[in-house]
Each structure stands twice: as C-alpha cells, then as structure tokens.
Amino acid sequence: MKVNDVKVIRRAGPGKGPVVRARPFDAGADRRSRIDNLLSSEEQAKLASIATVLEYKRAGIAIFSQGEDAHFLYAVDKGFVKSSRHDEEGHRQILAFMWHGDLFGIAEHGHYVNTAETASPATIYRFPLQRLRRLLNAEPQLQIHLLTKALHDLRLAQRQIVALGQFHIYRRLASLVFDFSQHPEIYDAKTHRLALSLSRTDIADYLGTSPELVARAFSLLERDGILRRLTPRIIEIADAQQLAELQQKWTRNGQ
C-alpha cells in the first residue's frame, strides 16, 4: 500500500454530519431504506460530534481486517466498500457491499469478524465505540435506528442465502447487476451504462463461484440480450425489464 492512500481530513464538527439514514422500527424496503427518512438534524449533529472523516484514495485499501481489535464503527459516505470473510485455506467470501449511509464494523468479543476494504475511492465516517456507546445510552432514538439498520442488513443477508442456495450463477449475476444498477453513483440511467469497478474475482467471491464462471455468465447474459460488455468493467444494460424480472421474482414478499 502506498503512503497517503488514506487521509484523515477532519474531525467532523456539527453541521458537517455523517449521513446515517434509517426508517422506523419494522419498516424499511431492502433498497429504499437507505435513502428515506433521514435522521433528525440533531441526531446527525450528535453523531457528527464523535465522528472522524477518512478519505480513501483508491479501491482495495483495507479499512480493518478480520480478527483485529475492534474500536470503531464505520459508515460509508461516498464510494463503496466490500465486506468479506476469509477461511484458513485462503478462500474468500464477499458478504456484502456497503454504500452511502450503510454502517459496518460488527465485532464479536472485541474483534472484527469480517474484513472491510474499499471497492472504490471512498469517504468513510469513523465512530469510536466507547463514545458511541455512551451516546446510545443517552439517545434511545439513535439506538432504534441502529437496530433498524441491523435488521435491514439481516434481511439482505437472508436474501443472499436464498440466492446462493437456490439459484444458478446466471441468475445470481443478474441479481448483482440489478442491485448495482440501483446506485446512481455508478449507473447512468441515460446511457444505461454501469461502472462495475469490481474485478471478475471480486464478483466471483461474492457469488460463490470462480472468475471463469462469472465471465461465462456475462457471456450468456449478453447472448440473451440483457446487457452488453463495453469493457470488462463497464456494461450497458440493454433489457432492464428482463433483468428486473430475474431479480424481483424472489425479492418481493408474496403478500
């Protein structure tokens, strides 16, 4: 890693709050919970008062590693982050991607259980756990928001369990592409262009397969007219309808 890949740009002061967002208790659409129902500005300010802002200048920088002592909770402001777990044989499973407003850094017995690395240049807010705990004791509302976030992430994890347990690579990849296309930061709705900014290996480690199979699945999605590869990491979504159908069938609840 180069020097100055990470820069602590400032101690966040009031009025420059981190953007942590949530919905009330048992609500929260899998996707939309991230962009609705901002915390009140007081809550924002209180969080801001204990936050440090970190600038990560490129993708692939470790924020923390599995097993390290956990002293902070993190929130994504700009860019995105991948969370992964390694086993002793060196295999890696990417568990989730975190975007604007998402929290990460869960621990167990004081150690991080996952590794977090930037998946793009990113701005990250960092909260010392000690001070966060004190703040939470004083602010039940903030606690509810954290709980809501945790439940949301749990639902997402369960969705991923269904994907890995039930679907072929083709559909899992379609699902990933759909999810990514919901982020304006990397998807241009006008040109239908999506900047994946992930290697085939990263995608494979998320889908639970190999880079070769990911390449083949892309090739099949292209054959079926769902997308086109402009470069390996920039794709054009040709049939958003069909893509959404591959995804939404099993995302929605049968009400």
Kindly tell me which of 106 and 230 has the beta carbon lying closer to its own copies.
106
Q: Which of 133, 219, 245, 248 binds DNA (CB under 7 A)?
A: 219
By CB under 7 A, residue 201 contacts DNA? yes
Kindly tell me which of 2 and 249 has the beta carbon lying closer to its own copies.
249
CA atoms within 13 A on the CB side of 101: 19
Q: Which of 71, 183, 193, 233 binds DNA (CB under 7 A)?
A: 233
CA distance 73 to 92: 22
CA distance 43 to 142: 7
Using an 8 Å Cβ cutoff, are 153 and 96 in contact? Answer: yes
- CA dihedral sign, ordered 190, 192, 196, 199: negative
Helix (H) or strand (E) holding 8: strand 6-11
CA distance 250 to 25: 23
| Contact positions with DNA (CB under 7 A) in 90-109 | none
By rule CB under 8 A, what string of x and - marks binding of each residue 89-128 to its own copies?
A: x-x-x-x----------xxxxxxxxx--------------
CA distance 175 to 97: 13
By CB under 7 A, residue 57 contacts DNA? no
Kindly tell me which of 26 and 231 has the beta carbon lying closer to its own copies.
26
Q: Which stretch binds DNA (CB under 7 A): 10-18, 118-126, 204-212, 237-245?
A: 204-212
| Contact positions with DNA (CB under 7 A) in 140-199 | 168-170, 199
CA distance 238 to 186: 16
Using an 8 Å Cβ cutoff, are 243 and 227 in contact? Answer: yes
By rule CB under 8 A, what string of x and - marks binding of each residue 15-54 to its own copies?
A: ----------xxxxxx------------------------
Q: Which of 107, 200, 224, 251 binds DNA (CB under 7 A)?
A: 200
| DSSP-derived secondary structure for 74-105 | EEEEES-EEEEEE-TTS-EEEEEEE-TT-EE-
Q: Torsions phi, psi of 145, nearest 5?
A: -65, -40
Q: Which stretch binds its own copies (CB under 8 A): 151-159, 179-187, 194-202, 221-229?
A: 151-159
Residue with tokens 């590794």: 115
Binding site for DNA (CB under 7 A): 168-170, 199-201, 208-216, 218-219, 229, 231-234
Binding site for its own copies (CB under 8 A): 25-30, 66-67, 70, 85-89, 91, 93, 95, 106-114, 129, 133, 136-137, 140, 143-144, 146-147, 150-151, 153-155, 157-158, 160-162, 164-166, 207-208, 249-250, 253-255
